[in-house]
Structure 1
Amino acid sequence: MTVRVDQFPEVQGVVSEPPVQARNLSVGEVLGQVTELVQAKKYDEVQALLQNAMGQHPNNGDLINANGYVLTAMKRQSDALRWYRDALEFSPMGSGIWNNLGTAFKHLKFYNVAIACHQRAIALSNNEAFLHHNLGLCYAEVGQHGEAIMAFDRALALQSDFHLARWDRARSYLHLGNYRKGWADYEVRLVSGQIPARSVSGRQWTGTPYAGSRLLVLAEQGFGDTLWALRYLPRVKGLGGELIVECQPALCSLVASLGVADRVVAKGEPLPEADYYCSFCSLPGLFTPDLSLLPAQPYLSKPAEREAKFEPYLRKGAGCLKVGIVWSGSVTFERNAERAISLERLLQSVDFPGVQLYSLQKGSPEQELQGVELRRPIIDLAPELKDFADTAAVVANLDLVIMTDSAVAHLAGGLGVPVWILLGHSAHWLWLLDRADSPWYPSARLFRPRIEGDWDHVLDNLAIELMKLATVKVPLSSVG
């Protein structure tokens, strides 16, 4: 028998039972061990177990499906696909197998057939909530967020405490700009385990005045999320008492320079007692039920005391268009490969006469600079960028920043510096749908692909727009 496994919420796995050590196991006993071994990432052991069992029961669809499940856990989607198809030969009415096949197709970005598989799974099932959730995930991947919301609605009607379905419904609402409903669902992250539970004093703040009291704003998620939500601090402070702001250490100096918080605490340091607390990413839900209520722009300012150390680097770009570049976000982000590009590919679009490039890239992708030889060398600022206050000091003095979707985009946008953001097909909900501009950042311009993986289209449009800005003097005799 097959049931859903929480560790792989899109994949229908097998019942977890105490491991059985005997070699000649029943099918049920084998399936009972599979989940436990996969959870422990003992892939060699579980594959040997299944190979032995399939030798005894070669026509058992559940065992074949389980082998596909193991391969899915190992991120070998193409291999898993074959096993799920084989399982259907023996169990064509197995809703779990159709679900798993749809999930494998989704990971391979075959979205239309993935949707059809999930619909087949639902038709053959007893109307289980997670099957509707998986269908909704496929709709969301292709930008059909209205259909995704209906699927998530059905999942939640069947299981009201299905936190992942509520979270994914939040993202679809936010993609569509339905902030009133989106923010309400977005709060589920605080109880679903997606945001680690914090032991803090006081009551959760709901946006009411707190004169004479202390409010603690807590850091959560990544740098970009904090930078995005900083716009609300003046409103928060304007409602009353003492404001304590926790943020990632690399952001502390920048946040302190805003002059809004009474105290800035680096994440990881002891927190003071407080009367109220609020997570950073809950602030938009308190103040922006629709886009007409966005705070005034820009909302960040450059730390003037940091500018002097960057003056020699900026002087090298005198007379040129000074352009900062970032080609990758954090490599630890699960889907970074979908939003990052190589430096070599980016340079095909940005290396024009009259343009001085400044690398703002941090982390391991910075190593790509070592293999680059250009007519005008890229100025690598990474060794000087010790925190986001440093980055703000240099970005504020650039003419333009060109980058893939990561934290510096929020920094540049918050400073009001022109920033061109290169988006993947399944972009973050903040950028909404089919827009070339962003109401969150009026200085931003969005470059979108036509289809999945269509970076050529993105970089082509980028190149022609940058060429228009580059200050190049071409002798008339060389034209025509």
Structure 2
Amino acid sequence: MGSTGPSHDWRFGLTQAVADGDLNLQAKLYRQALAEAPGNHRLWVNYGDVHWLQGNVAESLVAFRRACSLSPDAVLAWRGLAHALRDGRQYRAALEALSKARALQDSPLLAWSASQLLLGLERYGEAYALAERRLNHPELELYRTPQPPPVLLRDASPASASTSELVVFSEQGFGDTLQYLRWLVPLLNRGWRVQLELEPALVSLVVEGMAWLGSAADRLQVWPRQPAAPPLTQQPAAVLSLLSLPYQLGGAPAADFFRSQRQGQWLGYLRHQLWMPPPPRSQPRIGLLWASGRKEDDAFLAREYRQRSLPAEALGALLLGLQSQGAELVSLQLGPDRQRAGPWQQLVSEQLAEGSDFLATAAAVRRLDLVITVDTAMAHLCGAIGQQAWVLLPFAADPRWLRGRSQSAWYPSLRLWRQPEPHQWKPVIEKLLAALPGWWQQQRLS
């Protein structure tokens, strides 16, 4: 009878490969182990995970399907298959795989993954109800302990509550926070008083950007988050994560509320009287951001960084193509990824100052005719302030951007440019550059 497990040499080599973060070597060692033990479903799961981290969708699908066939009761196999199907933009099939995993062993993490697929399928009510399960995850570190209201806020009013005070705190990254700030507007307009606790870099943007609400804005207090949440001075009607507001209020994606009643133009929900449209000019002034947050100490975050960021060759083609059409280029890239522009840095006429907070960044962005950005907080900032932006999306884009669309359901001022196949930025850049002259001619006529 043949061996069902890998050799000790394989295990030793893998331990070192994992410590070094060498995904190529890990894949090689798993192939060797599978040659010895092709019926070991755990090896197939691990092999699929490595290919998934490398962004190899087709290879990861093969591995996870093999694992599921070998062990139909293996939760990790079905979860891995769901992740690979999601990256292949097969949301319904991915949701079915997650349903099988949850039937075996449900968890807040699996429920959260399913909620994101439901968002991609535009089943918003189901998605946000299921997303609340994340709050039960034992490892989720929240700024405050949530205290939901006795009834959903969509069915309540300040007059019927014991107090009109709500405490809302940010959760997850800048992009998520910027996206979900829109639900503050209906809260304030209904008469709720909101204590909002945010990362310091966002505070001034929200204070200034919500002032357009007039007297309703007086009911908003914005506080910078501290290393630890200070005690509340009084008991509010509820303590909520910002990401729970879509569930509490409904109405996702809540875009039409922020359109001009006269022209139907998307105005955004963060506005400032000094953010005026750019002046007329003969050639466009375009801001660029090409990398999505360098986080290479975590395998999952490193994967997101690689998938979303433009490699040097694609970035060079974009900068040279824009410059050849007479565009004035402004770098919005901060941090070490500024150097990614390499020899093409000389094509940039201006750079956003290091250390700029979101209010300063918004003011700089509003002076531009267009922003071209990868999927990062900049895309959400542009959408929130009503700035025109073209967003470059990888093939395995986040489900919030839906599938097969060039317009965003969340931000009508954004245009989406999608990879036709994994890792292929060249056709995206070529299509974008071909569309630029027509777009600019339309801008000058409007």
Same fold judged by TM-score > 0.5? yes
TM-score tier by shorter-chain length is 0.7 to 0.9
The alignment of Structure 1 onto Structure 2 pairs a total of residues equal to: 405
Pick the aligned partner of 2:409 from 428, 431, 439: 439
CA distance in 2, matches of 1:153, 1:406: 30
CA 1:393/1:277 → structure 2, altered by over 3 Å: closer, same or farther? same
Which residue does the alignment assign to 1:324? 287
Which residue does the alignment assign to 1:262? 220
> What CA deviation, in whole Å up to 9, does each residue of 1:228-251 have, x standing for no partner?
111111111233332111111111
Pick the aligned partner of 2:248 from 267, 286, 292: 286
Q: Give the SS at the match of 1:454.
A: coil
Which residue does the alignment assign to 2:103? 157
Which residue does the alignment assign to 1:30? none
Q: Contact 1:218 / 1:279 at 8 angstroms: preserved in 2? A: yes
CA distance in 1, matches of 2:430, 2:135: 41
Deviates more, 1:420-429 or 1:171-180: 171-180
Which residue does the alignment assign to 1:84? 30
Q: Contact 2:294 / 2:305 at 8 angstroms: preserved in 1? A: yes
Q: CA deviation at 1:163?
A: 2.6
Give me the TM-score of the superposition, normalised by structure 2: 0.82
Which residue does the alignment assign to 2:142? 197
CA distance in 2, matches of 1:194, 1:468: 50
Which residue does the alignment assign to 2:305? 336
CA distance in 1, matches of 2:31, 2:273: 62
> What CA deviation, in whole Å up to 9, does each residue of 1:401-420 have, x standing for no partner?
11111112112112222111
CA distance in 2, matches of 1:151, 1:294: 34
Amino acid at match of 1:364: P
Deviates more, 1:189-198 or 1:289-298: 289-298
Amino acid at match of 1:320: Q
CA 1:389/1:170 → structure 2, altered by over 3 Å: closer, same or farther? same
CA distance in 1, matches of 2:132, 2:49: 27
Which residue does the alignment assign to 2:133? 188
Q: Give the SS at the match of 2:192.
A: strand
CA 1:424/1:238 → structure 2, altered by over 3 Å: closer, same or farther? same
CA 1:451/1:73 → structure 2, altered by over 3 Å: closer, same or farther? farther
CA distance in 1, matches of 2:390, 2:40: 48
Tell whether 2:385 aligns with 1:427. no
Q: Contact 1:288 / 1:294 at 8 angstroms: preserved in 2? A: no
Q: CA deviation at 1:227?
A: 1.1
Q: CA deviation at 1:194?
A: 6.0
Q: CA deviation at 1:464?
A: 0.9
> What CA deviation, in whole Å up to 9, does each residue of 1:82-128 have, x standing for no partner?
32232233333222122222223333444334323222222322612
Which residue does the alignment assign to 2:203? 252
Tell whether 2:176 aligns with 1:216. no
Amino acid at match of 2:351: D
Tell whether 2:33 aligns with 1:95. no
Q: Give the SS at the match of 1:323.
A: strand
CA 1:272/1:304 → structure 2, altered by over 3 Å: closer, same or farther? farther
Q: Give the SS at the match of 1:282.
A: helix
CA distance in 1, matches of 2:291, 2:345: 20
CA distance in 1, matches of 2:440, 2:72: 62
Pick the aligned partner of 1:381 from 336, 348, 352: 352
CA 1:110/1:387 → structure 2, altered by over 3 Å: closer, same or farther? closer
CA distance in 2, matches of 1:289, 1:65: 53
> What CA deviation, in whole Å up to 9, does each residue of 1:236-294 have, x standing for no partner?
12333321111111111111111335311001163634411111112223334555775
Pick the aligned partner of 1:235 from 163, 178, 186: 186
Q: CA deviation at 1:60?
A: 5.5
Q: Contact 1:360 / 1:380 at 8 angstroms: preserved in 2? A: yes
Structure 1: which 5+ residue stretches go unaligned? 1-57, 472-480
CA distance in 1, matches of 2:403, 2:222: 35
Amino acid at match of 1:217: V
CA 1:351/1:340 → structure 2, altered by over 3 Å: closer, same or farther? same
Which residue does the alignment assign to 1:23? none
Q: Give the SS at the match of 2:166.
A: strand
Q: Give the SS at the match of 1:132.
A: helix
Q: RMSD over aligned Cα, in angstroms?
A: 2.9
> What CA deviation, in whole Å up to 9, does each residue of 1:45-85 have, x standing for no partner?
xxxxxxxxxxxxx9962646644653346432222223223
CA distance in 2, matches of 1:450, 1:199: 42
Matches within 5 A, 1:377-416: 377-383=348-354, 386-416=356-386
Q: Contact 1:64 / 1:87 at 8 angstroms: preserved in 2? A: no
Pick the aligned partner of 2:117 from 161, 164, 172: 172
Q: Contact 2:142 / 2:171 at 8 angstroms: preserved in 1? A: no
Q: Contact 2:4 / 2:39 at 8 angstroms: preserved in 1? A: no
Q: Give the SS at the match of 1:61.
A: coil
Pick the aligned partner of 2:76 from 115, 130, 133: 130
Structure 2: which 5+ residue stretches go unaligned? 212-216, 260-266, 296-300, 442-446
Q: Contact 2:334 / 2:352 at 8 angstroms: preserved in 1? A: no
Q: CA deviation at 1:190?
A: 2.0
CA distance in 2, matches of 1:417, 1:151: 38
Q: Percent identity?
A: 28
Q: Contact 2:188 / 2:220 at 8 angstroms: preserved in 1? A: no
Which residue does the alignment assign to 1:277? 239
Q: CA deviation at 1:218?
A: 0.5
CA distance in 1, matches of 2:250, 2:220: 24
Q: Contact 2:371 / 2:388 at 8 angstroms: preserved in 1? A: yes
CA distance in 2, matches of 1:119, 1:153: 15
Q: Contact 2:144 / 2:169 at 8 angstroms: preserved in 1? A: no
Task: Work out which structure has the larger RCO, using CA pairs closer than 8 Å and 6 or more positions apart in sequence.
Answer: 2
Q: CA deviation at 1:203?
A: 4.2
Which residue does the alignment assign to 2:89? 143
CA distance in 2, matches of 1:107, 1:203: 36
> What CA deviation, in whole Å up to 9, does each residue of 1:363-412 have, x standing for no partner?
222244674365x64211324x6311112222223211111111121121
